[in-house]
Structure 1
Amino acid sequence: MNFLMNLIWFVLGGFISFISWIVIGILWCLTIVGIPIGMQCFKFAVMAAVPFGREIRISESGTSLVLNIIWMLLGGLALAAEEVIMGVIFCMTIVGIPFGMQHFKHAKLALMPFGAEIYRVA
């Protein structure tokens, strides 16, 4: 079932999130200092491509607070706004609600990617 949902997700707009994360990751990787942030973006691009069957766990520690603040100012807010807008559009139909909920999950991830961990749900 996850395979089917992921396929529908990717065709109906998940590729937009995937491409957004990839572009932001490439932009961050253009600088030596931004490579760790870019690599994090590539990890989340995979999550944006196939989100069903995966969950996000966000750490409560404050160690990544500075990176999250820098991230929000230099790319995170734009990605979060994109995800919220797409989530609202999908939630306008009953059939699209599961897809909209995935976009809202990604919006939270777009705001605070550092300290977040992706894991598979059985």
Structure 2
Amino acid sequence: MGILGNILWFICGGLLSGLSWVLAGCLWCISIIGIPMAVGNAVAGLICCITIIGIPFGKQFFKIAKLSLMPFGAEVV
């Protein structure tokens, strides 16, 4: 019964759930929200990298810029 339930979940719910995440990722990438956030964080990262003390903070801003551009499927470490 467990295998049959997993197969039915994948066909009925899992496939639709996976497609919705893909569509949400595409819409986020081309929307007016993700791109300005990424550009703003990249600029903040460049400004932080001017000094030696700010380089670690700049690296984190670049990670946030990547995350704000494509947030779906990303892992924060």
Q: Same fold judged by TM-score > 0.5?
A: yes
Find the counterpart in structure 2 of residue 69 from structure 1: 26
Runs of 4+ in 1 over 2 A off after TM superposition: 62-66
Structure 1 or 2: larger helix share?
A: 2
The one-letter amino acid of 2:27's match is I
Residues 1:93 and 2:51 are matched in the alignment = yes
2: distance between equivalents of 1:74 and 1:67? 13
Tell me, which stretches of 5 or more residues in structure 1 are unaligned? 1-61
Which one has the largest radius of gyration?
2
TM-score normalised per structure 2: 0.65
Cα deviation 1:35-68 (Å, max 9, x = unaligned): xxxxxxxxxxxxxxxxxxxxxxxxxxx8543212
Structure 1 or 2: larger strand share?
A: 1
CA RMSD of aligned residues (A): 1.8
Tell me, which stretches of 5 or more residues in structure 2 are unaligned? 1-17
Kept in 2: contact 1:68–1:111 (CA 8 A)? no
Deviates more, 1:85-94 or 1:67-76: 67-76
How many equivalent pairs are there? 58
